[in-house]
Amino acid sequence: MSSRAVRRLVVLGVVLVLVVSAPWIWTNAAATGHVHDVGDAPGADVVIVLGTTVGSDGQPEARLAGRLRTAAELVAAGRARVVLVSGDGGGDSGDEPASMTAYLTGTLGVDPARVVADPAGLDTYDSCLRARDVFGVRRALVVTQAYHLSRAVTLCRSLGLDVDGVRARCDGCGRALLAEKSVRDYFASGKAAWDAVRQRPPAVTSPPSSAIQAALATT
């Protein structure tokens, strides 16, 4: 193979990598300045906790438990007043919002009046869109693990929500698991960009709910 052919292959490879990586670059660039730890998180009335799998016993697994503990810390520190737990109420692993609510109010001692559940947050995009359209959220914190956080923040902000992200703890999460999820999130950025560009409607439509406003009125 000639040196010119080699150079062409190299250039083609670089172009392909950039094209594939463009959505991931977008999600990270757009989230710059809006990702925080608990200690330096700004305040907001609402903190959105994004769901993920629960265990066979109905309890949150390590990643989800970490998100909920982080949200509870934000409430305890006065950085948020109401927790919106958003996940799949009919998921393969069980009812995510029900498990999240029970863990927050039972294990972590968060006042039940401060917790609102959305069982139709089937993915990150839907959770952001439904927070806006169903629950009337305009300003919020969003909590998930670091590998997922930029995509979550960017999706919410692309939908017009004034959102800052807070990195969730992940006690018990091994390096292999986190590496696997980071790779998955890299490729999921493509779907995120496509959803944002075409303004995909939610998988489940619901009438407006005043649950967040009612919870804020009691706290």
What's the whole-model pTM score?
0.90
- How sure is the predictor about 171, in pLDDT bands with cuts at 50, 70 and 90? confident
Which residue, 119, 132, 122, 48, is CA-closest to 84?
48
Please say if the pLDDT value at position 173 is more than 90. no
Res. 7 pLDDT band, cuts 50 70 90: low
Q: Give residue 20's pLDDT.
A: 56
**In this predicted structure, what is the pLDDT of residue 170?**
86
The model's confidence at residue 6, banded by pLDDT at 50, 70 and 90, is low
CA dihedral 23, 43, 73, 46 (to 10 degrees): -70
- State the average pLDDT for the chain: 90
C-alpha distances out from residue 127 to 12, 55, 99, Å: 37, 21, 17
| Residue 12 pLDDT | 53
